Amino acid sequence: MRIGVVVNPIAGMGGRVGLKGTDGKVAEARALGAEPRAPDRTRRMLTVLADAGEPVELLTYGDPMGESLAREAGFDPEVVGRPAAVVDSASVSTSEVETTAADTREAVRAFVEAGVDLVLFVGGDGTAVDVAETLSGTEVPMLGCPGGVKVYSSVFAVSPEDAGEIALTFSRTESREVLDIDEDDYRAGEVHPELRAVARVPVADDLQSSKQTGGGTVESLAEGFADDTESGVTYVLGPGSTVGAIKSELGFDGSPLGVDVWRDGEVLVRDATESEILDALGDRNVIVVSPIGGQGFVFGRGNPQLSPTVIRQCEIEIVASRSKLDDIGQLRVDTDDPELDAELRGWRRVRVGRFERRLLEVV
């Protein structure tokens, strides 16, 4: 099998520092201390490909879009091209290269010309759009390893490891949706996913669904949660409309797509970054999150500020409307820490009303 691998090296960088994406925010993300997320997730995916012992011919793009990561995994990849900034300036360090959507599209075109059986990409919805639109009119399927903050499309595997496994084992493809949103609207608290393309994707169980909105009221849930808050406990309140109802019930106008920290009637931090959350934590801390409708993710989609370091210092309370739980059927996590993901799996009590709880499995 011939697999083309292309990496968006800046995907997801803005998440931990509260930027809700990296489009047009790379310099700001770096100034805030953001670290690249995509390389480690690529390593995890490529390790599965390398350890499987299957005959794989790996094609990739020059650094920082995959070459060194492929060699680290033990491959001797065919490098089909290099980012324009590297070609234009031989003296520039690849770690400082600003890659573009045009680089991704050029990589995909080169993969098609080289006769790959699959384009495997690491990034978010914006990268998915670039790949899908470039593949339009071809028979070459695509598969995403989730690396961005926005991962609403149904072309992504659930985890990097799943992406590697699916790439090795798929035998059929199907049409799936590629969605994207405007990051400026997203930062302003508005989410309007737009269908941007339909792509051929491997048929597999471990693919995520498109993001959907959950129905049902959450007023009683929010009232019950507010009644049960305890003195001295620090509440780390995640994004989304369900947790937003809780924020309103607690008496403040929260960040609709950010993380807010609240304790004893006071908002300690609004729209917090990972470091701000850590600074605000107390002796006892509770993360409050709601799964993404249609997908079931409670960590790893839209809330990367809730990092493994934050999660390990907190209790977890999951809240959701009954209709949302009926729709998703199970919960998922993708925290960037496989050991923590394993610890979080199992049955969880989800608050669905003032008093009611429902058991749902994190898979």
Please enumerate, as own/partner, the contacts of 280-284 that have beta carbons within 8 Å and a separation of 24 or more. 280/234, 281/234, 281/236, 281/310, 281/313, 281/314, 282/232, 282/233, 282/234, 283/232, 284/232, 284/233, 284/234, 284/315
| Residue-wise pLDDT tens digits, 296-307 | 999 998 899 999
Q: Are strands 57-60 and 260-263 parallel, antiparallel or unpaired?
A: unpaired
| Residue-wise pLDDT tens digits, 197-225 | 889 999 998 787 665 544 435 888 999 99
Q: How confident is the model at residue 31 (pLDDT cuts 50, 70, 90)?
A: low
Q: Is it true that the peptide bond before 55 is cis, omega within 30 degrees of 0?
A: no
Q: Which of 66, 64, 83, 65 is nearest to 75 (CA)?
A: 66
CA distance 156 to 162: 9
CA distance 31 to 15: 13
| Residue-wise pLDDT tens digits, 41-95 | 999 999 999 998 888 999 999 999 999 999 999 999 999 999 998 876 655 555 5
What pLDDT score does 196 carry?
87
* Across 277-283, average pLDDT: 97
Average pLDDT value over all residues in the chain: 87
Whether residue 130 has pLDDT greater than 60: yes
What pLDDT score does 35 carry?
67
Whether residue 157 has pLDDT greater than 90: yes
CATH (one of 3.40.50, 3.30.1460, 3.30.70, 3.30.160) for 2-202:
3.40.50
CB 18 within 8 A of CB 28: no
- The residue type of 35 is E
CA distance 145 to 158: 8
3-state secondary structure 197-225: EEEEEECCCCECCCCCCCCCCCHHHHHHH
Q: How confident is the model at residue 288 (pLDDT cuts 50, 70, 90)?
A: very high
Q: How do the domains of the chain map onto residue ranges? A: 2-202, 219-362
Question: What does each C-alpha distance from 307 to 18, 181, 273, 352 come to in angstroms?
Answer: 11, 23, 10, 25
